[in-house]
A and B are shown apart, each in its own frame.
Chain A
């Protein structure tokens, strides 16, 4: 693949722009041109999803149809967006009635869904479209002596039959990428569990507790940094560490996978937005051989 359409979703541009920047920088370094999608709207995850299946399908369907117009696959970097687009694509591909209903709605804008384009989550693009060996070839400044804990979240890898990203019970893409970059990945209790983020709107206390348990388990496993592939997870695992209950513990840096890969690929730190990380990532960067840039 040499070109892909970036669907950045609602949250990343506002709350984690570094993730977007780092992703674009890394993909371009690895030979994939990232094109913008104009006039896109929300994918409908969680909120519309819980009210109306057709409205949800139409919202995601709109994005899919717009990508079809460009004739390019969609890159989703948010787990929820990736999940929504894939689930709705699955629905529209298999359910004629739903498809015709959605196309009726899209017709108003002159759009039509026929199912031509694929939805790729960032991890799929890195692992499959680009491939591990290509990534390995591009590493110029590997890490040394650093342990990472990979957090995949829920929507990226589940439900497997539809999203088809990695093994949901034993995911390894982030781990493999980190190891290629010279780090050591550690297993930890609750690796495949939720970050708690989606619960925030319903019960903040429980959501925070879930996130904090995750942090504790990562600590017990001795990891130095948590790597993510969804900005919701990233934000959640960061903010729970600022909660009162965790004020006495040393904070563990949280970084999206592309932010982590960037320096190892020789990309300038500024282009990766590392200065914006709420938890200082310099202990991680210090582990780069040859020092941080």
Chain B
């Protein structure tokens, strides 16, 4: 503990996904100031890219956008998007954080999000938000409800033609902007940095990357999303036709000791079932099959949703790991052998679209972040928490808390709950006993 003068009652939340936003809101609602740092140009995290969520089939953007608004307008929350934490020094109650605010070349205080600049921009870039299935301009917003609703120039692809600057009526474009480092004083740090999806190319024989109709679950989300690259039309990438026989393959990069991912990724069974249901919704005549090892529908409403997927939506489930996926060079259809272990039959199946469901892994560079902050990680790469019962959100570094997927895979409700719990811990630390 440092001397009273140096104490800060501010909270830094690193990561603006659902967990981070919830933590920020719950801290801010208690009257404390929160800095919410997010490395992407907008908060919203993974949820912003999803189409529907399980088990309610709520439209993800619909339930998320009120949160984005709430965070953006909260008087106690300061958003630092397109920013990354560079260093954290000090101790509980007295941290000094250096944050790199990357230059967007667009003034946040002037941009109204009208989009004239993007319409003018001549440079098209594969859109990472759409899993590179669509394009965006070099000046862009991630998604229609981006928060803050400010455009960003992707310096790597911008050709400096300055047409955007000429057409912007508010003079919001500023090519002289520089990256800047800001220093924040905070009392507690909450890490909610999310996760990374397993690179399915690590199973070369599943064909992703060269079989045209083998896609990942995230690509599927973007294809069925009305705001996605195909306006919500689920089509085959090889020929744009509607798929009639879709296969979902679970556990790609989970429960596999050989690939260094022995743990279960927790959410994939449910998102796989949800996507399978969505496939049937889009094409009621399509055959949809989920190939699984175990179905882990453990949360509130999950088992009921699984049951509904089988009975009401007619999704087929086959318990078996699939063999090598072979592409027919003419039709681009896909064939593989799989054992239906429940019937004992070896099946020779053909699909015209296959969706690989990757597992979750620790966020990119989580190990570097952990090292920077002196945090212990466990063998699975996630941040170690002090005690599952007494201190489930605390790390070995007093004053630094974790929530969301930073300490292990979680679905949205569990992440949101953890965000609130982290907020509670944070404010207890800050108030250290006295009522505010």
Contacts and interface: CB of A to CB of B under 8 A. Distances in A.
Determine direct contact between A and B, CB below 8 Å: yes
B436 to A, nearest CB: 57
B434 to A, nearest CB: 57
Given A169-B203, A169-B205, A170-B204, A193 B324 contact: yes
A169 B326 contact: no
Interface in B176-229: 202-205, 210
B324 A187 contact: no
Contacts of B144: none
A190 interface: yes
B91 to A, nearest CB: 44
A192 B329 contact: no
Contacts, number: 18
Contacts of B327: 189
Which of B202, B205, B210, B327 has the most A CB atoms < 10 Å from its CB?
B205
Given A169-B203, A169-B205, A220-B329, A192 B210 contact: no
Interface band, chain B: 10 to 19
A187 B205 CA distance: 11
A193 B336 CA distance: 13
Interface in A204-221: 217, 220
Interface string A178-205: 0000000001011111000000000000
A217 B205 CA distance: 14
B204 A189 contact: no
Interface string A129-168: 0000000000000000000000000000000100000000
A169 B324 CA distance: 10
Contacts of A193: 324
Nearest to A170: B204
A218 to B, nearest CB: 13
Contacts of B258: 160
B116 to A, nearest CB: 47
B326 A189 contact: yes
Contacts of A169: 202-205
Contacts of A220: 329
Contacts of A190: 324, 326
Contacts of B204: 169-170
A170 B210 CA distance: 13
B326 A187 contact: no
A192 B324 CA distance: 9
B378 to A, nearest CB: 22
Interface string B351-364: 00000000000000
A60 to B, nearest CB: 25
Contacts of B202: 169
Nearest to A221: B329
Given A170-B204, A189-B324, A217-B326, 5 more contacts: A187-B210, A189-B326, A189-B327, A190-B324, A192-B205
18 contacts: A160-B258, A169-B202, A169-B203, A169-B204, A169-B205, A170-B204, A187-B210, A189-B324, A189-B326, A189-B327, A190-B324, A190-B326, A191-B205, A192-B205, A192-B324, A193-B324, A217-B326, A220-B329
